[in-house]
Amino acid sequence: MINVGILGATAYTSLELIKILLRHPQVQLSYLGSRRADPPPISTIFPSLRGACDLKLSPLDPTAMPGDTEILFACLPHTVTMDVLPRFLRTEIRVVDLSADYRFSSGDEYSRWYGIEHKDPDNLPYAVYGLPELYGDLVRKARIVGNPGCYPTGAIIPLAPFLKEGICESDGIIIDSKSGVSGAGRKPTETTHFPECNESVHAYSIGTHRHTGELISILSDVAATSVEPVFVPHLIPMDRGILTTAYATLKKKTREERLLEVLRRFYDGKPFVRVRADAPIRTKDVLGTNYCDVGCKVVGRKAVLVSAIDNLVKGASGQAVQNMNLMLGLPETEGLL
């Protein structure tokens, strides 16, 4: 069994990660690091883990982590990871970071969207953007994987094939995403107070959401030209799931069947992308799974691309394990089906 650890073990992404790792046949969880002063068993924080995982929390300190830990997942908040991680990187350990801190290749780009100078710019060149369907080969050898944001995962997967193959225009792209509330994290706020967000929908951070930076960076890389989409996230009264509806202008009139072929060919051999033409793309069909379902329609000169993911699985912890599998040379789907 391969030892793995988690930094920031009390986040929702960590809970999901623990559940996935407990089922994984090749790894065992040996370290749960947390900022909390007097660390209780994790099952006190998450009663659902009682009986299944009674590991205690440990301090965020490399000496508290078993020496043979091979993979470390960081579930800390943005801006905290880059503060904590460097002292863990002194060992041989390899890292999957679920925060945004290692998703950009340049500290400047990071600063632009996160409003703070990057504290660990020296390690950025060793970090790979962990969307396995696009960068799997790099992930296999990476020291640090910047695990993608939930919204970018749902948007990049349907858009990438058409940008890469020059089928749609690189400008005028609109990404309208609808997310469940768990994406907002565990901290209670007015926005996530049940009587405020239940039975309601609203758009937020229109054009200013931090994931926009990630979208620009990766979509531009894929298209090999500058892509600056309009990105508008919405909060939906459900626990989990992101549905993304992306609108792109087709360079020339194209039939739906042709677009489906492009998608199928692009994701051929990618076990977690399901291109579907048979039924509506629904977040419910991917709930609790690492799948990204993708569909498309043509309306006039616009391609309407729809994707569904579980924000806590393919949008976070499942994808992190998918990356770990690649890093360890395991089958990509190990522990994820």
Residues acting as catalytic residues:
150
What is the closest distance, in whole angstroms, from the C-beta atom of residue 310 to a second copy in the complex? 11
Query: Is residue 135 a contact partner of residue 144, using CB atoms and an 8 Å limit?
Result: no
What is the closest distance, in whole angstroms, from the C-beta atom of residue 213 to a second copy in the complex? 14
Which residue number, 47 or 115, has a Cβ lying nearer to a second copy? 47
| Residue 169 touches a second copy, criterion: CB under 8 A | no
| Residue 330 touches a second copy, criterion: CB under 8 A | no
Task: Determine the Cα–Cα distance for residues 227 and 218; give it in Å rounded to an integer.
Answer: 9
What is the closest distance, in whole angstroms, from the C-beta atom of residue 212 to a second copy in the complex? 9
Task: Determine the Cα–Cα distance for residues 118 and 101; give it in Å rounded to an integer.
Answer: 8
Task: Return the residues of window 260-279 that contact a second copy according to CB under 8 A.
Answer: 271, 274, 276, 278-279
Residues 207-242, buried b or exposed e (16+ Cβ, 10 A)? eebbbbbbbbbbbbbbbeeebebebbbebbebebbb
| Residue 1 touches a second copy, criterion: CB under 8 A | no
Query: Residues touching a second copy: how many (CB under 8 A)?
Result: 77
What is the closest distance, in whole angstroms, from the C-beta atom of residue 100 to a second copy in the complex? 20
Binding residue for a second copy, selected from 28, 198, 225, 226, defined by CB under 8 A: 198
Instruction: Tally Cβ neighbours within 10 Å of residue 93.
Output: 20
Query: Is residue 82 a contact partner of residue 119, using CB atoms and an 8 Å limit?
Result: yes
Element (H, E) at 305: strand 302-309
**At which residue do the structure tokens 């994987």 appear?**
145
Binding residue for a second copy, selected from 3, 79, 192, 220, defined by CB under 8 A: 192
Written as six digits, the tokens of 139 are 């992930």
Which residue number, 63 or 278, has a Cβ lying nearer to a second copy? 278
Task: Determine the Cα–Cα distance for residues 95 and 77; give it in Å rounded to an integer.
Answer: 15
Written as six digits, the tokens of 62 are 């490399």
Written as six digits, the tokens of 255 are 């039939």
Which residue number, 145 or 219, has a Cβ lying nearer to a second copy? 219
Which residue number, 127 or 215, has a Cβ lying nearer to a second copy? 215
| Residue 222 touches a second copy, criterion: CB under 8 A | no
| Residue 22 touches a second copy, criterion: CB under 8 A | yes
Task: Return the residues of window 119-158 that contact a second copy according to CB under 8 A.
Answer: none
Task: Determine the Cα–Cα distance for residues 71 and 6; give it in Å rounded to an integer.
Answer: 9
Which residue number, 38 or 278, has a Cβ lying nearer to a second copy? 278
| Residue 334 touches a second copy, criterion: CB under 8 A | no
